[in-house]
Amino acid sequence: MKFGKEFTAQAVPEWQEAYMDYDFLKTLLKEIRGFRLRTNPPATTPDGLKRNLTLYRSFSGLTRRSANYTPMSPSSPDLEMQPILVKSVNLAGSHSYQTTFLMPSIQGGEYELVYFRRLDDEFNRVEKFYRSKVDEVLKEAAMLNKQMDALIAFRIKVENPSGWSDRVADMTRLASDVAASTAALAAASPSGARSRRGALHLLDVIEEGKSLHARSDGSKHDEVEKKSDNTDQKEEEEEEEEEGEGEGEGENPKIMVRNFRPAPLEILNRVKINNTQATPRSTIKNFLNVPQQTEIKFTRENLRKVEEQLKVAFVEFYQKLRLLKSYSFLNTLAFSKIMKKYDKITTRAASKVYMKMVDNSYLGSSDEVTQLLERVEATFIKHFSNSNRSKGMRVLRPKAKKERHRITFYMGFFSGCTVALIIALALIVKAQKLMDKQGSALYMQTMFPLYSLFGLIVLHVLMYAANIYFWRRYRVNYSFIFGFKRETELDYRQVLLLGFGIAVLALCSVLLNLDMEMDPITKDYKAFTELLPLNVLILLLAILLWPFNMFYRSSRFFLLTCIIHCIAAPLYKVTLPDFFLADQFTSQVQSLRSLEFYICYYGWGDYKHRHNSCKESTVFITFSFIVAVIPYWCRLLQVCNSLP
C-alpha cells in the first residue's frame, strides 16, 4: 500500500482536518516535476542504438549514479550551500517556523517557493493542534490525579471506618517492640545497626500498610514480612551508613510514628459523588422536590461503582494518549516522506535540514505524551489490576476481535438458504397457481400481516448491519459512542447471521403454511400450520429473554435495557442508545401494529378457519392509533427529559 493511502487509513477520523495535507503537497511536487520535464526533457536514445540487457553485462549496480547526481568532494564549496534555511519566528504572539528558499532566481524557483510556503503552513498548523491537544491531556491528567487521590482516601475510609487513631496506636506498640528488640541485638552483637536499619524498613512497610492495597490485616502482615525479607539485599548501602545510624539508637518510636504522613483523608470533605445515572426513584424525588442526600456513604458498593467509573475514565484517557502519539508519529513520517520526494524530484539535499527542524520542534521532541502513557500504565496496573501487568495491559490495550470463520460460514450458509427459500416460494406459488385459488384472498388478509412482521424485522436488522459495516470502514468508534461493553459489541457479520437466521425461520414457516383451501372432511385448516407464525414469534421472544450466556447475552440485555428506558422515558436519564432506539421505533409502527394483530387474531379470532373481526372492532382500531403514537410519545418524553 502506498504511504498516502496508509496515511489516510491510519488517521483519526475526528482529527482528519488537523493532519498534514499530504495529497495537496504531492500535487505541488507534481507541478515542479512537470515544469522540469517541460524545460529539460530527458534525452532519447536513437532506435538504431538500442540493445537488449543481458546477464552477461558487467555489474555496476553498487557504484552506479543517476545522470543528474554529481558527487561532491569534502572540499567542495557546494557542501556549505544549502537550498533552504529554516528558522523560528514569532508572529502575533504565536510561535511558528518559516522556511526560506535560497535559490528563488533559478528557473522554476517560483514553484518551489509556493511548495515551501505551503509546507510551512501545514507544519505550523499540525504543531499548533498538537500543542493544544497536549495541553488538554495535561489538564485531564491533573483532574484524574485529584480523582485518584479521592479514590485512595475513599478506599482507606471503607477499609478503616473507625479512622486512623487505632492504627496509630497499633503502630506505636509495634514500634516500641521493634525498638526494644533492636536495642537488645545492638548490645549482643556488632550487627545491631543493621538490625535497626531493618526496623526502620519495617516502619516504612507499616506506613505502606495504610495505602490503597491494604485489603485485610492478613495481607498487610504478609506484605510486611515480604518487605523485611528484601532488606538483606541492601547490605552494601547499610554498611556505609552504619556510623551515622549509631546516634539514633535511643530515638523514641512515638516520634517516628508522628513523622508518618497519613493518607489525605481530608480530601473527602471536598468531594461529591455525581450520580449521572438517573433512576425512577431519583427522578420522582426531584419532581416532588425531596431533598437529596448529599452525604457520602462509605460503603463497598459505592466504592465499587466509583472504581468502575474511574477505571473507564483511565482506559479512555489512555486510548486518547495513544491516538495523540500516533498523530505525532504519522505527521512526522509524512513530512519525512514528502521531503524525500522533493529531494528526488529536484535532486537537492533539503530533507536533512528540514527534518532536523522537525525533530527539534515540539512535535518531534516533546515527550509529555510518552511520560503520561507510562504513568497511566503504572497507575492503572497498581491500583486497578492488583499489580498484575499482563492483566492491566489487556484492559488498556485490548486485542482486536478475531474474526471467526465459523461466523462467516454460518452467515453465508443462512444467506444462501434465504435466497433458495425465496426462489422456492416463488416457484411453488407460480407452479401451483395458488394466487388463483379461492382462498388466496383470505390468506393475504390474515396470514400476510402475521408474516410481514418478520420481514420488517429482517429488513431492519440488515440495515443495522450495513450501518456497522460503514462505521467500521470509516473508523467510527461506534462501540464507545453507544456505550457497548468492550469486546462484546457485535460485528456486522454477526448481525447478518441473526437477520438471515430469522429470515430462514420465517420462510420455512411460510412454505409449511401455504394452504389455500380447507380440509374437505374437517372443514378447517390444520392447527399445526396455522400456529406456526405464533410459534416462531414465541421462539424469538424466548431467545431475546434467554437468561443464560448464549446468543449474545450482553447485546440482548443491552437491547432490553434500552427498550425499558424508552418505555419509561421520563424516569431515566436519556442517553444516545435510548433515543437512537426510539428513533428506530418510529420507523417500525407497522411492526407494532402487526404485534397487535397477533394478539387479536390468536386471542379472539378463529385461527382454524382464518376468521377474525379485528378490522371491524372499534377497540382494535382505537388501539391501532394508540400503538402508532407510542414511539413518537416516547421520543417526545425523551426530548422533554433532556431539556435543562
| Phi, psi of 85, deg, nearest 5 | -135, 120
Q: Is the pLDDT of residue 258 over 60?
A: no
Has residue 35 been placed in a domain?
A: no
Which stretches does DSSP call E strand in 3-93? 84-91
Query: What are the cell numbers at 112?
Result: 518551489
Q: Is the pLDDT of residue 12 over 70?
A: yes
**Regarding predicted confidence, which is higher, 522 or 459?**
459
Has residue 305 been placed in a domain?
A: no
Q: Which class for 57: exposed (0-12), middle (13-18), buried (19 or more C-beta within 10 A)? A: exposed
Q: Is the pLDDT of residue 492 over 60?
A: yes
- Average pLDDT over the chain, rounded to whole? 76
In this prediction, residue 94 has a pLDDT band, given cuts at 50, 70 and 90, of confident
DSSP 320-358: HHHHHHHHHHHHHHHHHHHHHHHHHHH----HHHHHHHH
CA distance between the termini of the chain: 50
In single-letter form, the type of residue at position 62 comes to: L
Residue 409 is predicted with a pLDDT of 93
Q: Rounded to an integer, what distance in angstroms lies between the CA atom of residue 634 and that of residue 600?
A: 24
Q: Which domain holds residue 230?
A: 165-238+248-261
Residue 165 is predicted with a pLDDT of 46
Q: Rounded to an integer, what distance in angstroms lies between the CA atom of residue 107 and that of residue 115?
A: 15
The answer to whether the CB of 155 falls within 8 A of the CB of 216 is no
- pLDDT tens sequence across 416-434: 999 999 999 999 989 988 8
The answer to whether the CB of 425 falls within 8 A of the CB of 431 is no
- Average pLDDT rounded to a whole number, residues 310-335: 91
Q: What dihedral do alpha carbons 577, 583, 587, 588 form, nearest 10°?
A: 50
Closest CA to 499 of 467, 531, 474, 522: 467
Q: Rounded to an integer, what distance in angstroms lies between the CA atom of residue 517 and that of residue 458?
A: 29
The answer to whether the CB of 612 falls within 8 A of the CB of 442 is no
What does DSSP assign to residue 397?
S
- Average pLDDT rounded to a whole number, residues 176-196: 45
- Average pLDDT rounded to a whole number, residues 509-520: 80
| Phi, psi of 329, deg, nearest 5 | -65, -45
Helices 553-567 & 532-544, crossing angle to 10 degrees?
Answer: 100
Q: Rounded to an integer, what distance in angstroms lies between the CA atom of residue 86 and that of residue 119?
A: 12
Could you give the percent of the chain with pLDDT greater than 70?
A: 70
Q: Rounded to an integer, what distance in angstroms lies between the CA atom of residue 588 and that of residue 594?
A: 10
Contacts of 626 (CB under 8 A, 6+ apart): none
The overall longest dimension of the chain from CA atoms, in Å, is 115
Residue 128 is predicted with a pLDDT of 92
Q: List, in sequence order, every residue forming a beta bridge with 94; answer none if it has no partner.
A: 91
Has residue 338 been placed in a domain?
A: no
Q: Count how many residues are written for the chain.
A: 644
- Average pLDDT rounded to a whole number, residues 382-398: 86
- Average pLDDT rounded to a whole number, residues 467-476: 88
The answer to whether the CB of 341 falls within 8 A of the CB of 306 is no
Has residue 116 been placed in a domain?
A: no
The answer to whether the CB of 384 falls within 8 A of the CB of 392 is yes
**Three-state secondary structure along 518-532?**
CCCCCCCCCHHHHCH
- Average pLDDT rounded to a whole number, residues 104-113: 78
Residue 329 is predicted with a pLDDT of 93
Contacts of 584 (CB under 8 A, 6+ apart): 460
Q: How many CB atoms lie within 10 A of CB 27?
A: 10
Q: Rounded to an integer, what distance in angstroms lies between the CA atom of residue 127 and that of residue 363?
A: 6
**Regarding predicted confidence, which is higher, 50 or 609?**
609
Has residue 93 been placed in a domain?
A: no
Residue 89 is predicted with a pLDDT of 81
Which of 197, 226, 261 is a domain's end point?
261
Q: Is the pLDDT of residue 255 over 50?
A: no
Which of 226, 261, 296 is a domain's end point?
261
Q: Is the pLDDT of residue 67 over 70?
A: no
Total count of domains within the chain: 2
The answer to whether the CB of 212 falls within 8 A of the CB of 238 is no
Has residue 117 been placed in a domain?
A: no
Has residue 77 been placed in a domain?
A: no
In this prediction, residue 285 has a pLDDT band, given cuts at 50, 70 and 90, of low
In this prediction, residue 295 has a pLDDT band, given cuts at 50, 70 and 90, of low
In single-letter form, the type of residue at position 16 comes to: Q
Least confident of 18-27, 37-46, 167-176, 265-274: 167-176
Q: What is the CA radius of gyration of the chain?
A: 38
Distance of CA 42 to the CA centre of its chain: 52
Residue 268 is predicted with a pLDDT of 63
Distance of CA 154 to the CA centre of its chain: 28
Has residue 560 been placed in a domain?
A: yes
Scanning the structure block, which residue is given the C-alpha cell 526494644? 180
Residue 232 is predicted with a pLDDT of 44
Which of 261, 295, 328 is a domain's end point?
261
Residue 264 is predicted with a pLDDT of 60
Residue 231 is predicted with a pLDDT of 41
In this prediction, residue 224 has a pLDDT band, given cuts at 50, 70 and 90, of very low
Query: What are the cell numbers at 273?
Result: 459523588
DSSP 213-248: T---HHHHHHHHHHHHHGGGGGHHHHHHTHHHHGGG
The answer to whether the CB of 11 falls within 8 A of the CB of 125 is no
In this prediction, residue 535 has a pLDDT band, given cuts at 50, 70 and 90, of very high
Least confident of 83-97, 131-145, 374-388: 83-97
Could you give the percent of the chain with pLDDT greater than 90?
A: 28
**Regarding predicted confidence, which is higher, 74 or 353?**
353
Query: What are the cell numbers at 143?
Result: 483532574
Q: Tell me the H-state helices in 474-588.
A: 478-482, 492-512, 527-530, 532-544, 553-567, 576-586
Q: What dihedral do alpha carbons 516, 517, 522, 525 form, nearest 10°?
A: 10
Q: Rounded to an integer, what distance in angstroms lies between the CA atom of residue 533 and that of residue 528?
A: 10
Q: Is the pLDDT of residue 345 over 70?
A: yes
